[in-house]
């Protein structure tokens, strides 16, 4: 299994260089003033609310765009704040098989604080930094399983 990171600057989700530089200046100030923790909690809460809305709509084809974009917007902020990270995993031995893979993912990570896109032998995960080692282990074990 191969683990690939995000861009060299630590941000992954379409931030212009100017906004990135501004954010790099503001982030330490948020930490020093103690405002980072409440900001993270706020975006966690909003992401959780958006996730609950997404579950109510069911499938992606029935879900309005605003619903999933709300989840994504708060997730991006949490990535920028350093609470979440995006990682790409490449499977060496087997390919992803749709619903079976996502059933296993939902059983292993029931909290809903993550997003996962999988296709062929690639898995892209956005999850809390504290969960990334669990994701690495999960994807590695999935790759080693025989069908």
Return d(Cα 118, Cα 29) in angstroms, integer: 36
pLDDT at 7: 37
pLDDT at 54: 80
Alpha helix ranges (H) inside the chain: 17-33, 36-57, 65-80, 98-108, 132-144
* pLDDT at position 115 over 50: yes
Return d(Cα 18, Cα 2) in angstroms, integer: 32
Overall domain count for the chain: 1
Domain residue limits at 77: 2-144
Compute the radius of gyration of the chain from its Cα atoms. Answer: 16
pLDDT at 128: 94
Return d(Cα 105, Cα 1) in angstroms, integer: 17
pLDDT at 95: 87
29: left (phi over 0), alpha (psi -120 to 50) or beta: alpha
- pTM (global) more than 0.75: no
Highest mean pLDDT among 39-53, 85-99, 109-123, 127-141: 127-141
* pLDDT at position 48 over 70: yes
């Amino acid at each position: 299994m191969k683990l690939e990171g995000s861009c060299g600057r630590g941000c992954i989700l379409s931030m212009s260089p100017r906004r990135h530089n501004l954010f790099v200046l503001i982030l330490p100030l948020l930490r020093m003033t103690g405002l980072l923790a409440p900001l993270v909690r706020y975006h966690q809460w909003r992401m959780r609310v958006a996730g609950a809305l997404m579950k109510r709509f069911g499938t992606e084809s029935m879900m309005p765009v605003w619903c999933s974009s709300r989840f994504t917007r708060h997730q991006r902020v949490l990535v920028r704040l350093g609470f979440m990270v995006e990682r790409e995993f490449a499977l060496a031995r087997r390919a992803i098989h749709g619903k079976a893979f996502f059933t296993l993912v939902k059983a292993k990570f029931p909290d809903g604080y993550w997003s996962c896109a999988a296709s062929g032998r690639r898995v892209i995960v956005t999850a809390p930094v504290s969960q990334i080692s669990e994701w690495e282990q999960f994807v590695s074990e999935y790759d080693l399983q025989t069908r």
